[in-house]
Structure 1
Amino acid sequence: MRKLLSLAAGLLLTIAQPALAGDPTYPVSTIPAALKENAHLVKRMAETILTVNDLRDVRLTQHYVITVLDETGAKDVSLIEYYDKLQDVRSISGALFDAEGKLIKRLKQSDIKDISAVDDGSLMTDARVKAHKFYYNVYPYTIEYEVELRFNGTSRFPLWQPQEDIYCTVEQSRLVVNVPGDYALRYRSYLYKGDPVVTTDRNIKTYTWEVKQLAALKSEINPDEFYRRTPSVFLGPGNFEVDHYKGSMSTWKDFGDFIYRLNEGRDVLPDNVKQKVHELTDGLATRTDKINVLYKFVQQNCRYIGIQLGIGGWQTFDATAVATKGYGDCKALTNYMMALLKEAGIKSNWALVKAGSDAHTIREDFSSPQFNHVILCIPNVKDTTWLECTSNTLPAGYLSAFTDDRPVLLVDAQESKLLRTPHYNMNSNEQLRKMDAVVDEAGNIKITCLTTYTGLQQDNLHERLHQLSPEKQLEILRKGLDISSYDITGYGCKELGTPIPAIEERIQISGHNYATVTGKRMFLLPDILNRSGTKLDAEEARKSEIKFDYAFRDVDTVCITLPVGYKAEALPAPVMLTTKFGNYSVAIVIKDNTATYIRKMERKAGTFPATDFGELVKFYNTIYKEDRSRMVLVKE
Structure 2
Amino acid sequence: MKIKCPKLIVLFPLFLFSGCVPSSHLHRSYFQEQPLGKQSVLVQTSDAGAIYLLDKVTRIVRSDSSSELIVHQIIKINRESGKKFAEVQIPYNQTFQKVKIDFARTITREGKIIKLKRNAIHTVTPASLAPYAALYSSLKVKTVSMPAVELGSIIEYQYRILQKKSLMKNHFWDDFYFQSEEPLVVSKYILVLPKSRTFKKLEKEINSPEITEKGGQRSYSWEKRDSAGLIREPEMPPLKQVLPLLLISSVKDWEEVASWYYTLAKEQMVADEPLKQEVFRLIKGKKTEREKIRAIYNYCSSNIRYVGLEIGINGYQPHQASEVFHLKYGDCKDKATLLITMLGVAGIRSYPVLINSEHQIDASLPSPSQFNHCIVAVPDEEKYLYLDTTAEICSFGDLPAEDQNRDVLIVKEGKAILVKTPLYRAQDNLCTRKIEINLKEDGTISAKVGVATSGFFNLAYRSSFRYLRTIEQKKFLSEDLNRVCPGAVLAEFKISDLTNLDQPVEENYSFSVENYAMRMGNKLLIKPALIEAVRSTALVAEEKRNYPILFQRCWEKFENVLINLPDGWEAETLPEALLLRHPFGEFEASYQKTEEGILYQRKFRISQPEISILDYQEFKNFYKKIAYQDRKEIILTKTPK
TM-score past 0.5 threshold: yes
Determine the structure 2 residue equivalent to 1:379: 379
Distance 1:178 1:354, change over 3 A: same
Secondary structure of 1:292's aligned partner: helix
User: 2:183 matched to 1:197?
Assistant: no
Q: CA deviation at 1:344?
A: 2.8
Greater shift after overlay, 340-349 or 497-506? Answer: 497-506
Aligned length: 613
What pairs up with 1:302-317 in 2 under 5 angstroms? 302-304=304-306, 313-317=315-319
Are the counterparts in 2 of residues 80 and 130 from structure 1 also a CA contact under 8 Å? Answer: yes
Are the counterparts in 2 of residues 10 and 164 from structure 1 also a CA contact under 8 Å? Answer: no
Distance 1:279 1:494, change over 3 A: closer
Q: CA deviation at 1:179?
A: 0.8
Structure 1 counterpart of 2:90, from 72, 81, 86: 81
Determine the structure 2 residue equivalent to 1:214: 227
Q: CA deviation at 1:326?
A: 4.5
CA distance in 2 between counterparts of 1:615 and 1:18 reads 55
Letter in structure 2 aligned against 1:624? A
CA distance in 2 between counterparts of 1:223 and 1:137 reads 33
Greater shift after overlay, 382-391 or 77-86? Answer: 382-391
Secondary structure of 1:119's aligned partner: helix
Are the counterparts in 1 of residues 13 and 99 from structure 2 also a CA contact under 8 Å? Answer: no
Distance 1:197 1:623, change over 3 A: same
Are the counterparts in 2 of residues 95 and 144 from structure 1 also a CA contact under 8 Å? Answer: yes
Are the counterparts in 2 of residues 493 and 505 from structure 1 also a CA contact under 8 Å? Answer: yes
Determine the structure 2 residue equivalent to 1:175: 189
User: 2:575 matched to 1:534?
Assistant: no
Letter in structure 1 aligned against 2:202? R
CA distance in 2 between counterparts of 1:266 and 1:434 reads 50
Greater shift after overlay, 86-95 or 275-284? Answer: 275-284
User: 2:175 matched to 1:159?
Assistant: yes
**1:312-362 deviations in whole A, cap 9, x for unaligned?**
63223333434554544433333233223223322111112233xxx2422
Structure 1 counterpart of 2:297, from 295, 298, 308: 295
CA distance in 2 between counterparts of 1:573 and 1:562 reads 20
Are the counterparts in 2 of residues 577 and 584 from structure 1 also a CA contact under 8 Å? Answer: yes
Q: CA deviation at 1:430?
A: 0.6
Distance 1:142 1:513, change over 3 A: farther
Are the counterparts in 2 of residues 56 and 151 from structure 1 also a CA contact under 8 Å? Answer: no
Distance 1:633 1:142, change over 3 A: farther
Are the counterparts in 2 of residues 20 and 94 from structure 1 also a CA contact under 8 Å? Answer: no
CA distance in 2 between counterparts of 1:104 and 1:531 reads 57
Letter in structure 2 aligned against 1:399? L
Determine the structure 2 residue equivalent to 1:131: 143
Distance 1:365 1:318, change over 3 A: same
Determine the structure 1 residue equivalent to 2:22: none
Determine the structure 1 residue equivalent to 2:50: 41
Greater shift after overlay, 461-470 or 152-161? Answer: 152-161
Q: CA deviation at 1:260?
A: 0.8
Q: CA deviation at 1:382?
A: 4.1
Q: CA deviation at 1:462?
A: 1.2
> What is the RMSD computed on CA atoms of the aligned residues?
3.5
Secondary structure of 2:259's aligned partner: helix
Determine the structure 2 residue equivalent to 1:367: 366
Greater shift after overlay, 606-615 or 17-26? Answer: 17-26
Q: CA deviation at 1:36?
A: 4.1
Are the counterparts in 1 of residues 204 and 245 from structure 2 also a CA contact under 8 Å? Answer: yes
Structure 2 counterpart of 1:340, from 339, 342, 345: 342
CA distance in 2 between counterparts of 1:140 and 1:518 reads 60
Secondary structure of 1:184's aligned partner: coil
Determine the structure 1 residue equivalent to 2:574: 571
CA distance in 1 between counterparts of 2:78 and 2:574 reads 51
Letter in structure 1 aligned against 2:436? D
Are the counterparts in 2 of residues 2 and 9 from structure 1 also a CA contact under 8 Å? Answer: no
Q: Higher helix share goes to which structure?
A: 2
Secondary structure of 2:531's aligned partner: coil
Letter in structure 2 aligned against 1:372? N
Letter in structure 2 aligned against 1:600? K
Secondary structure of 1:611's aligned partner: coil
Secondary structure of 2:437's aligned partner: strand
TM-score normalised according to structure 1 size: 0.86
User: 2:590 matched to 1:580?
Assistant: no
Q: CA deviation at 1:486?
A: 1.3
Determine the structure 2 residue equivalent to 1:413: 413
CA distance in 1 between counterparts of 2:572 and 2:83 reads 56
Distance 1:554 1:543, change over 3 A: same
Secondary structure of 1:550's aligned partner: coil
Structure 2 counterpart of 1:267, from 247, 251, 269: 269
CA distance in 1 between counterparts of 2:149 and 2:546 reads 34
Determine the structure 2 residue equivalent to 1:473: 473
Determine the structure 2 residue equivalent to 1:146: 158
Are the counterparts in 1 of residues 77 and 150 from structure 2 also a CA contact under 8 Å? Answer: no
Are the counterparts in 1 of residues 97 and 163 from structure 2 also a CA contact under 8 Å? Answer: yes
User: 2:348 matched to 1:354?
Assistant: no
Q: CA deviation at 1:254?
A: 0.8
What pairs up with 1:388-537 in 2 under 5 angstroms? 388-390=388-390, 394-481=394-481, 482-494=484-496, 502-532=504-534, 533-537=536-540
Q: CA deviation at 1:118?
A: 5.3
Are the counterparts in 2 of residues 360 and 405 from structure 1 also a CA contact under 8 Å? Answer: no
Determine the structure 1 residue equivalent to 2:17: none
Are the counterparts in 2 of residues 43 and 172 from structure 1 also a CA contact under 8 Å? Answer: yes
Distance 1:36 1:626, change over 3 A: farther
Determine the structure 2 residue equivalent to 1:246: none
User: 2:232 matched to 1:229?
Assistant: no
What pairs up with 1:28-107 in 2 under 5 angstroms? 32=41, 36-37=45-46, 39-75=48-84, 78-83=87-92, 84-91=94-101, 93-98=103-108, 100=109, 102-103=111-112, 105-107=114-116
Determine the structure 1 residue equivalent to 2:323: 321
Are the counterparts in 2 of residues 450 and 504 from structure 1 also a CA contact under 8 Å? Answer: yes
Letter in structure 1 aligned against 2:264? L
Letter in structure 1 aligned against 2:95? K
Are the counterparts in 2 of residues 44 and 171 from structure 1 also a CA contact under 8 Å? Answer: yes
CA distance in 2 between counterparts of 1:48 and 1:312 reads 22
Determine the structure 2 residue equivalent to 1:244: none
**1:445-475 deviations in whole A, cap 9, x for unaligned?**
2111001111012212112333222233223
User: 2:606 matched to 1:603?
Assistant: yes
CA distance in 2 between counterparts of 1:261 and 1:372 reads 19
Structure 1 counterpart of 2:125, from 116, 138, 161: 116
Distance 1:309 1:625, change over 3 A: closer
**1:170-211 deviations in whole A, cap 9, x for unaligned?**
22221111111111233211111x311112211211111111
Q: CA deviation at 1:377?
A: 1.3
Letter in structure 2 aligned against 1:252? W
Distance 1:135 1:494, change over 3 A: farther
Q: CA deviation at 1:603?
A: 0.6
CA distance in 2 between counterparts of 1:564 and 1:30 reads 78
CA distance in 2 between counterparts of 1:307 and 1:541 reads 36
Secondary structure of 2:220's aligned partner: strand
Percent identity over the alignment?
23
Greater shift after overlay, 80-89 or 385-394? Answer: 385-394
Letter in structure 2 aligned against 1:511? V
Distance 1:461 1:137, change over 3 A: farther
